[in-house]
Each structure stands twice: as C-alpha cells, then as structure tokens.
Amino acid sequence: MKKLESYYQREGETYLIEIQLNDLNQLFNSLDPSPFLSKDIDENARNYIVGAVSEFSLSTSLKLVFYLPVEDEFEAREILPAALHHYFHYCQRGEQRRLRVILRQGRIALFVGLVFLFVCLSLSELVAKFGDSTFIHFLEEGLIIIGWVALWQPAEIFLYEWWPVGYREKVFKKLTQITIEIRLLRDGK
C-alpha cells in the first residue's frame, strides 16, 4: 500500500487536493439551472473530493486547490469557495437527516423486537406446560430462537448501520470549512 504522500502534494503540514479545470463550469452539474451558490457539483468532482478527504484522518489539515484559466479568475475567487461550502453544508444536513432516520428506525425496530421477544418467550413458557415431547421442545426452542432473531435488525442498526453515515456527515462538515485556493493556469500549464 502506497503512502498518501505519493498521491497528494504537501505544503507544510497541509495536504493538497488538487483539481485542474479547463472551465469553471466543469465543476458544476450542467443540468442544474440554479444560480452558482445553489448549484450541484458534478458527480465525478464530488466523488473525487469526498473520496480524497475520506482517505485522510479527519484531523489532517487539507486544502482544496483549483487550477483554472485566467479568464475564470474573478468568478472563481468570488463564487467558488462560497458555492462549495454551501453545497457541502447541504450534503452535511442530508447526512444528519439520514442518521436521524436510521436511529429512529432502530428505536422502532428495537421496541417491536423486544415486544416480539417477550411474546415468543411467553408462548414458549406456555407451550412447555403442554408436555415433554420432542415436538414440544422443538416448538419451545423455535419460539425462543425466533424471538431473539427479531432483535437482529435493531442490533445491526445500532452496531453497524449508523456509523458510516455519521462518518460521512463528519467528512461533509470538514468540507464546509476546508480552505479553498484558486491558482491560475498560465500558458496551458
């Protein structure tokens, strides 16, 4: 596995996530009619930026550096940082909502699972009073097992499902505050 140093330039303690554009509009979704500050970022650019930030620890100092033609300088310096921060703030709020929904579903699933487990354990106790045959033992054990299996979904939600969403929310939060620098391309360089 190669170290991050080989993929990303560094300035002091800050790693650079560099993107070269031939035109500022390349960064934004061309089908989105919204003004720049509300525009969606192109999916490939978004995936690259989020993926690059995700490769680093959340405590690592990062900077987004855009290389643009001279003719886009004014527009880029005036609009780009605010537009990107606004977009990633929108993404962060979306992940926060998604996390709340997952946790609410987990609480509902836990309540339903516990009620179902209680019913299954009660039925198992009731069935046990009907005798001591193999079928009765099979039914008792089956009710106990299915009762515990009903808790699988809430366990999965609370143990595994929420944390990737929580991590993405933190990545987007970092992107709402990331330093953005515009560097100009001169003579095709």
Phi/psi of residue 91, nearest 5 degrees = -65, -40
What is the pLDDT, as a whole number, of residue 178? 96
User: Are 14 and 21 a contacting pair, CB within 8 Å?
Assistant: no
Least confident range from 1-5, 53-57, 126-130: namely 1-5
Cβ neighbours of residue 168 closer than 8 Å, sequence gap 6 or more? 50, 95
The more confidently predicted of residues 36 and 115 is 115
**What are 11-49's pLDDT values in tens digits?**
999 999 999 988 888 887 655 545 444 567 888 899 999
Q: How confident is the model at residue 7 (pLDDT cuts 50, 70, 90)?
A: confident
pLDDT in tens, 94-106: 999 999 999 999 9
First to last CA, the chain: 30
Indicate whether this model's pTM tops 0.85.
no
Helix (H, G, I), strand (E, B) or coil at 98: helix
- Give, as one character, the DSSP assignment of residue 55: T
State pLDDT tens for residues 60-80: 999 999 999 888 888 888 888
> Does residue 164 carry a pLDDT above 60?
yes
| pLDDT value, residue 88 | 95
The confidence score (pLDDT) of residue 4 equals: 59
CA distances (Å), origin 49, targets 6, 52, 56: 17, 5, 12
Model pLDDT, residue 138: 92
Residue-range domain boundaries for the chain: 4-96+170-185, 100-166
Decide if pLDDT at 3 tops 80.
no
CA dihedral 23, 55, 59, 159 (to 10 degrees): 130
Q: Residue 96: which residues within 8 A CB-CB, separation 6 or more?
A: 169
Does the structure show a pLDDT above 80 at 92? yes
Q: How far is CA 151 from CA 101, 116, 122, in A?
A: 18, 9, 16
